[in-house]
């Protein structure tokens, strides 16, 4: 799959290229599943800011089997089932990457589970556990609660014994959000700040997770108690439909708040900006994946898969997310047929 330039879902191209070759220290992976993330949609619209120059192939994460290994690669062999942390290029039948960026999969882990974990669960874990030191009895607010990160947050919070998870979503997703153990908030009909305050005796929540951006960020900040932590990891309010709207994006940027350090100091609140694609210390993320793998094997987490689409349906799959229809993770199927 190639993004030739800024455009809607109809701009995505499926192209035939020669099979890549694994060089020294590299492996070639036959992809079976690739994860779709909201960041992929923003990249296509030219709104992400950290993608390669066009044209390029998106895809942060994939799961499949090693086809061959380059000189100097140890501990990996053709036929091994692996998770591939591609960075970019995951929307492909075959991908070549450094051997250090693939992780062997236990037999009990499916390709669907593997491809659903790195970005969504890795982001949620990094925010709540690594940065937030999440502990039992704490309270959490998460927006887009029915999405990939939202469902990951719900499961991680349950594993760590949080006392309350407040999840905002559209009205049709109420039953699904509540089935995950969250206190559902209709984002169109309720004030989530008031709900968070009323559910915590007026104090507010310990953690707030905001992928919306713009003025919404300040409202999430207000939902925190003293000593609370806000994590900003997206800007979905900059996206309106599948084609870029410069006016929508501009409104989002202009309404994004600036935080006064002195006021933050007096309230003891913290704000974290989180972008896993720009995390310099790869060992930190590797540690997250190791911990999450253990949680999966113990049954503490189980990725919620909304749907799996054949790669030829990539436009429909991305439009499914644009239309906010997904409940959990959306995957692309590249398996041989």
pLDDT tens column, 8-48: 999 999 999 999 999 999 999 999 999 999 999 999 999 98
Encode pLDDT of 163-212 as tens digits: 999 999 999 999 999 999 999 999 999 999 999 999 999 999 999 999 99
- What are the start-end ranges of the H helices in the chain? 38-44, 111-116, 118-125, 148-160, 174-179, 192-199, 216-222, 246-255, 261-267, 282-298, 314-322
If asked whether residues 106 and 140 sit together in one domain, one would say no
Distance from C-alpha of 318 to C-alpha of 12, rounded to nearest angstrom: 10
Of residues 298 and 49, the one with the higher pLDDT is 298
Distance CA 68, CA 27 (A): 6
70 and 202 fall within a common domain: no
In a domain, 4, yes or no: no
Residues in Cβ contact with 70 at an 8 Å cutoff, skipping those fewer than 6 apart: 22, 23, 24, 25, 26, 27, 99
Residues 136 and 235 in one domain: yes
The answer to the question of residue 297 being in a domain is no
* pLDDT the model gives residue 133: 97
The answer to whether residue 290 is domain-embedded is: no
Q: What pLDDT digit, counting tens, does each position of 203-243 carry? A: 999 999 999 999 999 999 999 999 999 999 999 999 998 99
The domain boundary, picked from 260, 277, 294, lies at 277
Q: How many domains does the chain have?
A: 2
Q: Quick check: is 3 in a domain?
A: no
The CATH number of whichever domain residue 320 belongs to comes to 3.90.180.10
The parent domain of residue 149 ranges over: 120-277
Is residue 102, in this structure, part of any structural domain at all?
yes
pLDDT, averaged across the chain:
95
CB 329 within 8 Å of CB 304: yes
131 and 13 both lie in a single domain = no
Q: Say if residue 280's pLDDT is above 90.
A: no
**Does residue 55 sit in the same domain as residue 20?**
yes
Query: Is the pLDDT at 49 greater than 90, yes or no?
Result: no
Same domain as 151, residue 71:
no
Q: Is residue 218 part of a domain?
A: yes
pLDDT score, position 281? 85
Residues 77 and 135 in one domain: no
Same domain membership, residue 197 and residue 227: yes
Q: Let me know whether 156 and 246 are in one domain.
A: yes
Q: Which of 106, 105, 88 is nearest to 97 (CA)?
A: 88
């Amino acid at each position: 799959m190639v993004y030739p330039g800024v455009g809607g879902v109809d701009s995505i191209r499926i192209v035939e290229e020669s099979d890549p070759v694994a060089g020294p220290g590299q492996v070639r992976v036959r992809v079976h599943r690739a994860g779709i993330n909201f960041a992929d949609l923003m990249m296509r619209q030219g709104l992400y800011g950290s993608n390669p120059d066009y044209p390029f192939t998106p895809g942060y994460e994939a799961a499949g089997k090693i086809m061959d290994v380059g000189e100097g690669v140890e501990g990996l062999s053709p036929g091994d089932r692996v998770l591939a942390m591609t960075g970019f290029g995951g929307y492909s039948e075959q991908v070549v990457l450094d051997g250090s960026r693939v992780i062997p999969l236990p037999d009990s882990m499916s390709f669907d589970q593997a491809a659903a974990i790195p970005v969504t669960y890795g982001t949620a874990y990094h925010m709540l556990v690594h940065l937030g030191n999440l502990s039992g009895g704490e309270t959490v607010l998460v927006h887009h609660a029915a999405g990939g990160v939202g469902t990951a947050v719900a499961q991680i919070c349950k594993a760590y014994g949080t006392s309350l998870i407040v999840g905002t979503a559209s009205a049709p997703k109420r039953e699904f959000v509540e089935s995950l153990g969250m206190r559902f908030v209709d984002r169109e009909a309720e004030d989530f700040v008031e709900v968070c305050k009323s559910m915590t005796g007026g104090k507010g929540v310990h953690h707030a997770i905001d992928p919306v951006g713009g003025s919404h960020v300040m409202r999430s900040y207000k939902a925190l108690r003293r000593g609370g932590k806000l994590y900003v990891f997206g800007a979905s309010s900059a996206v309106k439909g599948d084609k870029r709207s410069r006016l929508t994006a501009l409104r989002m940027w202009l309404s994004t708040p600036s935080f006064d350090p002195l006021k933050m100091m007096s309230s003891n609140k913290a704000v974290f900006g989180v972008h896993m694609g720009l995390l310099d210390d790869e060992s930190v993320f590797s540690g997250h994946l190791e911990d999450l793998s253990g949680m999966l094997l113990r049954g503490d987490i189980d990725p919620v898969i909304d749907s799996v689409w054949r790669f030829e349906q990539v436009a429909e799959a991305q439009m499914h997310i644009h239309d906010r229809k997904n409940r959990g993770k959306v995957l692309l199927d590249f398996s041989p047929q």
